[in-house]
Amino acid sequence: MARMTMREAISQALMEEMDRDPSVFILGEEVGVWGGTYAVTKGFYDKYGPKRVKDTPIAENAIIGAAIGAAMVGQRPVAELMTINFAFSAMDMIVNQAAKLRYMFGGQFNLPLVIRAVGGGGRQLGATHSQTPDAVFAHFPGLKVVSPGTPADAKGLLKSAIRSDDPVLFIEHATMYQVRGEVPEGEYLEPIGKSKIQRPGRDLTIVTYCKGLELSMKAAEELAREGIEAEIVDLRTLRPLDMAPVLESFKKTNRAIVVEEGWKSFGVGSEVASRIYEQAFDYVDAPILRVAQKEVPLPYNRTLEQAALPQVADIIAAAKEVLR
């Protein structure tokens, strides 16, 4: 397998799908001539031309609206939002139109739409450009929400998202484009809606996804030096949420923590913990703890920003707490 960055894996997935299916096209702010804000679509404009790589005005509502219309008539648009924070400007299109149209019209048409959006903090972009509102979008039935934590999953899940006949919000973390990993070449798909055990263990279960996976793997390595073996379950998809591997792991370890970058209140960790309590209460040997961002708008100052974001040390402390 080739070893590549998250950026390269996403770019490769897009290019392979555009080569395979002429109905796939890209639209968004600066995706063409500029090559994308994070250089994911660099070179695409020269290869595919303006009909399949469309630079748009700074108008997120129009970007998603145009993509919805194209999807309804048989195209497979991949709409890029420069940041998931700008998705708030297109909320009606995303959660009232894309997520609901197939239901409201009784399945008379498909809606094969992918919305790529960059989320997360850690780049000193300020409170309004550094949010992790994944749980907000996962709340709405009809919209699939995917957020990979490895380059291999980024490629496999994005290819599956593009081939899906339902709308998919594909969230990429702003600080993970340089993360490297082994990625299968060619026809490689990962199923949407399937969690995955990324690290086997026996002492406790860490449930996480996206940036949380990177932090949890580092925490698990440090815990292992002290004889604590953590099993890490990567959700990968927030809707539909696959709890089967989580519950299987928890029934083995009897202890769990949930790691996410979003705020703790009303978040992904709350949902996961609640489902464990509901479906595996007899196996609970300690309270399920949540590691998340501090409940403040994310500061611009780097020191304060890092203090607000979840860190490896926070995961280690939570792990030791549930094992105490």
As a whole number of angstroms, the distance between CA 60 and CA 115 comes to: 11
As a whole number of angstroms, the distance between CA 117 and CA 124 comes to: 18
Residues facing 144 on adjacent strands: 168
Q: Which residue has the tokens 């009784």?
A: 106
Alpha-helix runs per DSSP H in the chain: 6-20, 44-48, 60-72, 91, 101-104, 134-138, 151-163, 211-224, 244-253, 268-280, 302-308, 312-323
As a whole number of angstroms, the distance between CA 295 and CA 97 comes to: 31
What is the set of active-site residues? Answer: 60, 129
CA distances from 292 to 8, 23, 215, 220, 278 (A): 28, 40, 12, 17, 22
How long a stretch of residues is the chain?
324
